[in-house]
Each structure stands twice: as C-alpha cells, then as structure tokens.
Structure 1
Amino acid sequence: MSNKIGPRAVVLKAGSHGPAVRKLENELKERGLLKGPVDGHYDRRTAEAVKRFERANDRKVDGQVGSWIYNKLQLGDRFDGPKGNQGGGSVHGGSPDNAGDTGKTGTFRTVTANIKSNPEMPQAQVLHDVRKAAAQGDLIGWQEISPPRYFDAIKSLGKEWGHYMPKDGNLRIPVPISWKKSEWDLQDAGFKRTHDGKAKVSPHRYITWAKLKNKETGEDVVRINTHLVSGAWTKSKLGRPTTPWRQEMWKKHMAQLDSMVERFEKQGLKVVVGGDFNRNHYKVLGNDVVYDNKLNVGTHGSSTLDYLMHTRDRELEHVRTKYERGLHSDHDAVVATYRLK
C-alpha cells in the first residue's frame, strides 16, 4: 500500500540525494528546465529548475519539492528521511533509467497546444497557457495563433526558444512551431497552404514543418504541425453533413498532409505529427502512423480532436503521453515523450 506524503511535508530540498533526486532531475531535464548533468544531488541547479517548474504551474516558488510536486512527477511512494528533519534524507522508489546517471537519455518531449482565439482570451490567460505548455516540453506545435499578441506571448518565452513563424504574404501563419535551442538545431522548415478559407467563416488552412537536429543524439526529427477546418463531420438529424464544403476541404487537407509525411519518410526521416484535427476519436492518418494519445480520451471536452502521432521507425520510440488540463483554452495540451535510440 502506498504511503502518501503529508500535504505540508518538504520531501526534497538542498542537500537531499539519492534515486528520487535523480528521477526528479530526469523529469526536469526532459521538460527543458534543468541545465547540466543529472547527478542525484539536490544542488543550486536543481533548486532553480524546481522554481521554474513551480512558476509554470502557478505554485508557491521556494525551490523545494513538497507533496504536490512529489506526486505530480511520480517520484516514489514513501518518505524515508529522519523524523523531525523532513527534506534532509532521501526518498526511495521509482528508480530511473540507467541512462539517467549521465543525463544522456535520448528523450525529448513534444507538445501540441491549441491556444483559443475564437473568441480571443485576455492576454494574461494567453501568457498563462503559453508558459504552461512550454514548461511541458522542448518541441511545441501551436494552433489558433492568429492575433499578433498571441505571437508576442510565444516570443516572450525568451531567447532560449527558437520559433518558426512564417508568413504567407502579409498573413502570419497561425500554426507556428517552437523548440528549445539547448536541445535542437533548426536544419530546415517550410509550410503549405492546403486550401483557402471563406471570408468571415473559416480562415485559410496550413501545414507547417520543421526539420531539427537533436543535439544530444545528432538525429534529425521532422515536427509537423497543423489545424484542420472545424465542423466537417457535424451531421444533421438526417445524417447528412451540415456543410459539405467543410468535409471536402478537410479531405483535401488530409491528402496533402499524408503526402508530406510519406515524402519525409522516403527520405529516411523520423516524423512526429501533431495538431488540432477537428475529427473525433478517429485515426486521421489510417494505420500508417502510431497514435500516441488514446483516441477515446477527450482533449476538447469529451471529444478527441488534438492528436500526436509518429511514423513507424525503429529508432523512434514512444515512451508515454500525458494531458495538460490546466489551461484557460477550451483544448487540453497533449504531451508525448519519445526516445531516440
């Protein structure tokens, strides 16, 4: 039986060491919050990384691991520190991969996050959602980034982030991609307009992609990001599409996405695809890819509209997926961890 940590307990802090600290460091490093090696010692670097995690999750910032962070990151199931000196001992349980001893795990986290702009949110909420999504990973595909101030919110993440924010004429494309510069080097990028929109009804639709080199492994990964037309699969009481043109545009968009994925695969590249697909509980790319979030777990209320998936490559392994539900947007962010072998 698991012994839960008391709500006021300080479980890990400066001076702590052991397997739980090492696992904490691995979790923080995967999120791009910890700089330097994983060594199992709770030092100043670890405390600063914990503070970044606390800020991203709107927690009290003290650089110490209490029960909330301990349980949130699943660091173990019991506290073995000496009585009356909580935080000075070590916590056991949940030992990390052996690769964590050096901090070279070959893992990365990618996020797909729809930051609602219809209707637009107050800027404080936009900033909150952007920062919370950024705290979850090191490679992010954004959707609904239409107002200029939404782009400003992403740029406010700081110099440690790189961004692909292309324009189509004078229009800033609303599906940008961001990456941690400490983890990735941009090799190439591009976009495709899949179809025109309808004035005051639906915007132009796009696919963006970025080819990035993972600094730890030297492997190239292509991250594709997109957002499809909504309402394509809404049906009338008679079972007919309410707006047939939306369904045709959705199919046209997906055909171009499928072709793009196939092109990168033929080049021998590992591909991760994500976005808001606006089709519920559906294998949008058939069986050509591995779906990394469950099709029956809602990301927009009870509907599964936001997906992460990857091509079938022996050197790209899906580790786990989680959902970030603490956003002001009407979509949850999907976060997937992968390992480059």
Structure 2
Amino acid sequence: MLRSVIKRVAFAVPTIFGVVLVSFALTRLLPGDPAVYFAGAAPTPEAIADIRKAMLLDRPLLEQFVSYVVNLLHGDLGKSLITGQPVVKDLVARMPATLELTGLSLLIALVVSIPLGVIGALRKGSLIDHAARFFSTTALSMPSFFTGLLLVFVFYYLLGLAPAPLGRIDPLGLPPPVRSGLIVIDGFLAGDYESVTDGLAHLVLPSIALALSGIGPLTRITRGAMLTVLSSDFIRAARSYDMPRWRLIYVYALRNAMLPVLTTAGFVFSFLISANVVVEKVFSWPGIGSYALEALVASDYAAVQGFVLSVALLYVLINILIDVLYGIVDVRVRLAE
C-alpha cells in the first residue's frame, strides 16, 4: 500500500505543475489591472508604473512565470492585495472553515444517499425506489446558491429557527481557543459547549445546502453498484446457504459495492470544495471560497492562484486517501499491489 501511495504522489507532480501553469495563464486573462486597484482611488500614472514594477507586471509573461515558480518552491505564494497578508497565511487561517463545512456536507450526503441507494436497489421499481430517484435528481438539479437562499428565507426569516447567516458563530460570541481551527472540535477540547452549540447551529444550513449537490450522484452510484452486486453469483450462493438477510446485504453486498461509492465520494468532495465559493458567500462563511471570490473581483493574482493550487493539492490528497480506503475495504486491492 505504501508503494501505491508513493506512485500516486509521483504521478501527481505533473498534474500540480499543469495546475500551476493553467492558473497562472488564466489569472493573467482576468479583466482589470491589480496595480490600478492597489494604487488607490486617484492613482497617478507614475504610481501605477511603480506598482507594476514592484509586482513584476512590467516583465514578460515567461519571466513572471519563472519567478512565480521559484517563489512557489520556497513556499511563497505571494501577497494578497485585499488583506495585505501573505497568501499562505490567509489560506491557512481560512482553510479550517472550508474543511469543516465541506466535511460535514459530505457526511450528510453519505448518510442520506447510501441508505437511499440501498433501499432503491432492494426494492427496484417500487414507489420507494421512484421516490428516492426523484429526490436525488431534484437535489442534484437545484443550484447551491438557490438552495442556500431558500433555506435562509424559510428557517431564518420565516420560522426563526436558524441563526443569522453571518459566519461560523454569533457576531457577539467569543470563539474557543484555536487548536485545530474547527469551531466544534475546538469547543469540545476547551469544554466550551456554548461554542459547540453555536458552531453547529451555524453549520446546519450551509452544510445542507452544499450536501444536496452530492446526494444525487452518490445515491445513483450506490443503487447501481448494489444492483450489480445483488445479481452476482456469490450473492446467489450465499442465499442458498440460508444466510441472514441483514448479513447478506450489509456485510457482503454493501461492502463489495463500496468501491465505486468511494470513488464518487472523492469526486463529490472535490466538487463541494469548489461549490463552496457560492455557499460561503451566501452565508458569509470565512473560508477559502469567499476569499477566492473576493480575489477574483479585485484581480488579485496571487490569491486566486493560491486558491486554485490549494484545491488541487486537496484533490491529490483525497485521491491518495481513497486508494488507502480501497485496500481497507477490498482485500483484492491489497493483494494486487
């Protein structure tokens, strides 16, 4: 398994370089001039020229790219024009908020979609199967920003059951001491259960809005994989031995159907990180998604490139984790290495 992880990391290096190249090229196509934005409300041509020189924007693109890659190898992603802080510092400060939201969203999607897929496969063609497919299709077709706004309107504005969509905790509340950066976990570690309750209350609506995008594909993949496994020879043989139904379904069938589900979960997690851009803006969530959106508006090259690179690294790590889970779920994967 270690050999497989090392191969994955080696194969990921060209991918990361391609992401760096593409993100560098695309940010240079953004409208606007960051030097003008940085120069202030009434900039002079001389001030703009000096800023462009300081930001290396007056040099050829190839020279800019080489300088960017060299700085990148030293762990320097540049400085954000919006915050005035190094991009690495901004991303490290905001990443826990994004991971907390995305992780809970994926958990909700898995908890809902796997039972729906299993029930749909066990009762193929029934009313429950049709209802599960209708729900998954509807959840997939609804944009995250629309779902988020709808949830805010119903549960905050009309019913008053949810807190105001103004971040991770109440604006007047005090966050727990930072250890992991995750409000809920830090609250548990500090024994501050008021922060835990407040953090969970602020997490519910954005997590549901984001999770609905992942329920559709996960439900369909689970249902299809279960139908394939349930019609296989070893399941028919197990039935002939009068094995308990729950053991047949949840120990043998579901475990063998989990490989495509794990693959889809990895893609869904990567998609949810990208979809965070909209959901975080709707709920004023201080993650890397809202940070990237503000950077795009301001043509902040360094911040946009840092966001794209961080998402690409997360995608690589997710794929490596899926490979490890493959070996845990299916012994044949370990034996084939």
TM value normalised by structure 2: 0.25
Query: Which of the pair is proportionally richer in helix?
Result: 2
The structure that is strand-richer by fraction is 1
TM-score (norm 1): 0.25
Q: Greater relative contact order: 1 or 2 (C-alpha under 8 angstroms, separation 6 or more)?
A: 2
